[in-house]
């Protein structure tokens, strides 16, 4: 589930079209050095066909948006009942994660670590006043950021169940005047240009079939000088001698994609190249895979409790199928194939 630090060296510019060729296509939560363009071939997946740059992006895989919405319509209640309202990984320190309370603290720490990495100011004059939470789940990050900064927060999700639940939680916490969630497509955001001081995407990028369009939309809605934070699942950067991931790696990712309604993955270097192509500034990235290592074993452990088992059995097939492939996420992290990555940058403009 998508729920569920070293600075990157300067990278050479690349075109948006080249980034599209590498990272998947269409419409709709210290790394190695950047690789030569020929080394970052698009990850082949049966749900998206190859196109040339002249042809432009391919259509969205049939049923992708509906599959994502259905997965989270089914699973969000189960997740909330066991893990609370933050539908994302936790950021763990050495020796942490002895109890569920520790795991929930780690989820809060993930938010704080992301804000610190991006150097989001706490100063009353400079702190963000407007925030968009792209792939907001049930609004855990939206409510947290609204309270932390006193900001106005908009959240978007494909899941009507999530939007309704998140708005109910905001009302229950007295935040209805600050937090509003709605059903919308992250690749066609229903907001005007330049609206948000902070553009936040916590583990939603992995669902985006066109990574270039995804980052472009984040940049479009960011205010001049606004901060963009993307925390997402990536595959490893390729070695200079490689033109593709290994067959066993491709197979492992395909099995995960099929369960979680994920289109093509891309690497951290690809995200940075897209950001460069959009003239975004202060681009930084880090691999936090080691910091999230306790997360998936903890999710599996919680799923094997009586509450977890009964919740899964009553939730629906999409949720059950997702639970069945959770060990593959652990395998991907252990192999160094899956990289839990943060990418931050700033839109040019105001200081």
CA distances from 222 to 226, 268, 345, 346, 347 (A): 5, 21, 11, 9, 7
Q: Is residue 222 part of a domain?
A: yes
Query: What is the DSSP-derived secondary structure letter of residue 206?
Result: G
Determine the 3-state secondary structure of 16 from DSSP. helix
Cα–Cα distance measured from residue 196 to residue 316, given in angstroms and rounded to the nearest whole number: 36
Determine the 3-state secondary structure of 109 from DSSP. helix
Give 161 or 34, the one with higher predicted confidence: 161
pLDDT category, 25, cuts 50, 70, 90? very low
Q: Is residue 56 part of a domain?
A: no
Q: What is the CATH number of the domain that holds 135?
A: 3.40.50.150
Q: Which domain holds residue 178?
A: 86-242+264-293+338-347
Number of domains in the chain: 1
In the chain, the DSSP E strands lie at 130-134, 152-157, 179-183, 196-202, 222-235, 281-287, 338-346
| Lowest-confidence segment of 118-122, 181-185, 260-264 by average pLDDT | 260-264
Q: Is residue 177 part of a domain?
A: yes
Could you write out the DSSP letters of every residue in 277-312? HTT-EEEEEEE-TGGGTTHHHHHHHHHTSHHHHHHH
Q: Is residue 175 part of a domain?
A: yes
Q: Is residue 159 part of a domain?
A: yes
Q: Is residue 4 part of a domain?
A: no
185-221: pLDDT as tens digits = 999 999 999 999 999 999 999 999 999 999 999 999 9
Give 313 or 186, the one with higher predicted confidence: 186
One-letter-per-residue 3-state SS of 29-42: CCCCCCCCHHHCCC
Q: Is residue 324 part of a domain?
A: no
Per cent of the chain over pLDDT 70 is 76
Give the per-residue pLDDT at 59.
Answer: 55
- Which whole number is the average pLDDT over 63-92? 89
Q: How far is CA 36 from the centre of its chain?
A: 25
pTM for this one?
0.82
Give the per-residue pLDDT at 43.
Answer: 34
């Amino acid at each position: 589930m998508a729920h569920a630090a070293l600075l990157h060296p300067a990278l050479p510019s690349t075109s948006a079209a080249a980034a599209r060729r590498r990272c998947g296509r269409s419409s709709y939560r210290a790394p190695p050095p950047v690789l030569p363009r020929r080394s970052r071939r698009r990850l082949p997946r049966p749900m998206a066909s190859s196109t040339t740059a002249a042809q432009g992006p391919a259509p969205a895989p049939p049923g992708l948006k509906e599959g994502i919405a259905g997965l989270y319509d089914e699973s969000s209640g189960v997740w909330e009942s066991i893990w609370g309202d933050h539908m994302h990984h936790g950021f763990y320190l050495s020796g942490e994660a002895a109890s569920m309370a520790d795991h929930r603290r780690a989820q809060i720490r993930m938010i704080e670590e992301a804000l610190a990495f991006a150097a989001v100011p706490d100063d009353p004059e400079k702190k963000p006043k407007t925030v968009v939470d792209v792939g907001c789940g049930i609004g855990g990050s939206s409510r947290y950021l609204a309270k932390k900064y006193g900001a106005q927060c908009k959240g978007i999700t494909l899941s009507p169940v999530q939007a309704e639940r998140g708005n109910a939680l905001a009302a229950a916490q007295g935040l209805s005047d600050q937090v509003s969630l709605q059903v919308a497509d992250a690749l066609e955001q229903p907001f005007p240009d330049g609206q948000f001081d902070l553009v936040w995407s916590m583990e939603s990028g992995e669902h985006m079939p066109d990574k270039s369009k995804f980052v472009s939309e984040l940049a479009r809605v960011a205010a001049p000088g606004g901060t963009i934070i993307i925390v997402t699942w990536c595959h490893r950067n390729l070695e200079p001698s490689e033109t593709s991931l290994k067959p066993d790696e491709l197979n492992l990712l395909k099995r995960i994609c099929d369960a979680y309604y994920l289109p093509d993955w891309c690497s951290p270097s690809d995200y940075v190249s897209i950001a460069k192509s959009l003239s975004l500034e202060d681009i930084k990235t880090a691999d936090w895979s080691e910091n999230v290592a306790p997360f998936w074993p903890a999710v599996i452990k919680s799923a094997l409790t009586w509450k977890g088992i009964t919740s899964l059995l009553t939730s629906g097939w999409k949720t059950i199928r997702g639970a069945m492939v959770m060990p593959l996420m652990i395998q991907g992290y252990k192999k160094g194939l899956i990289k839990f990555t943060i990418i931050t940058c700033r839109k040019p403009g105001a200081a």
